[in-house]
Structure formats: C-alpha cells, structure tokens
Amino acid sequence: MHSTTTPLTCQLRDDPHAEVLDIVGYNYMIFKHKTDHERDPKRVMWQTESYPRDAYRNYETVANNSYVIGDMVWTGLDYLGESGKAEMVIPNFVGFTLDKILG
C-alpha cells in the first residue's frame, strides 16, 4: 500500500510504467519533455539527474513549462565511482591493508 497524500515518483526509462506515477523522473533526458507532454498532456515530470553544465538550460525548461517541476543537478563532487572516473586509492600511512579497512 502506498501513501495517497504523498506524490509517487520514480526515474523511468520505460514509458508504459509512467501512467502509475504522479510525477515522472527523467535522468539526463528532460529534452523529451515536449514530445512526452504532447503524447500525454496530464504528465507531470522532473529531471532526477542532470549535468551541472546544463543547469541554466534546465532552469529555463522548468520556468517555461508548468508541467516540468524541477531539476536535480548531479554534481559528482563527493562521489565519482558511478561515473567510472575515479579509482579507489587508500593511502597506507599507518600499515592498514585494504582487507583490514573493508573488513
């Protein structure tokens, strides 16, 4: 059972599941907002992940389209593992080994 007072949202890639959501999340794909809105004018959407370089353009999309309610900018400042651009490096200043740290 889900709450009937809190909107249900999720990031989607498969459009058929969007109809069960109150707010559809788009990861890096808010550019689809116009065609998706034309196909389903009732749909409320937001961008659940976006690049910092696109923040202003996405702000304009939100400001100019009442059915797009927001944008979550993924800064990656504190976590680079998902992007594949970081490697795990643990300095060994006091004799710890990786298996001791990770348990």
In angstroms, the CA 70 to CA 9 distance is 13
The pLDDT, as a whole number, for residue 63 is 94
- The DSSP line for 7-56 is --EEE-S-GGGGGG-SEEEEES-GGGHHHHHHH-TT--EEEEEE-GGGHH
Per-residue confidence (pLDDT) for residue 78, from 0 to 100 = 53
Instruction: Kindly list the domain boundaries of the chain, sorted by start residue.
Output: 9-77
Q: What residues does 71 pair with on adjacent strands?
A: 47
- Tens of pLDDT, residue by residue over 46-92, are 998 888 888 899 999 999 999 999 998 876 555 555 555 555 555 55
What is the residue whose two structure tokens read 């707010």?
Answer: 23
DSSP classification of residue 5: S
Residues 73, 95 contacting (CB under 8 angstroms): no
Burial category of 48 from C-beta neighbours within 10 Å (exposed 0-12, middle 13-18, buried 19 and up): buried
